């Protein structure tokens, strides 16, 4: 009987540890806010460009034209060295950079 209780305790302990690890993984992620800000800037610049150029919805954004609506008139730099893809109008821009979370888990930058 004692042995069975010990085994049960071990199982409960393992389950608790696994739950704690997945909790930490889910909650410790925080995307680089500087990069998220850049993505938002690019997205709003795309919207302004699309407004000024009717018929561009769904079309690939022209980076040099969209950049005219961004402060500094140039593509912002991702703090983690990611590369921005502007994507078509109506599709959010993406970054190739990753944030490292707890336990080495990685998450791509996104808005």
Least distance to Zn ion, CB of residue 33, Å? 11
Phi, psi of 85 (to 5 degrees): -115, 125
Which of 55, 34, 50 lies closest to 87, judged by CA? 50
Q: What is the DSSP letter of 108?
A: E
> In the complex, which residues of this chain contact Zn ion (CB under 5 A)?
35, 78, 82, 95, 97, 109
* CA terminus-to-terminus distance, the chain: 55
- Complex with Zn ion: residue 66 or 95, whichever CB lies closer: 95
């Amino acid at each position: 009987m004692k042995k069975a209780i010990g085994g049960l305790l071990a199982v409960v302990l393992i389950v608790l540890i696994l739950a704690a690890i997945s909790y930490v993984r889910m909650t410790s992620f925080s995307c680089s806010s500087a990069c998220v800000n850049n993505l938002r800037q690019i997205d709003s610049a795309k919207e302004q460009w699309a407004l000024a150029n009717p018929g561009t919805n769904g079309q690939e954004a022209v980076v040099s034209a969209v950049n005219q609506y961004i402060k500094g008139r140039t593509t912002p730099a991702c703090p983690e060295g990611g590369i921005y893809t502007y994507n078509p109008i109506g599709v959010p821009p993406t970054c190739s950079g990753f944030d490292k979370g707890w336990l080495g888990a990685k998450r791509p930058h996104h808005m």
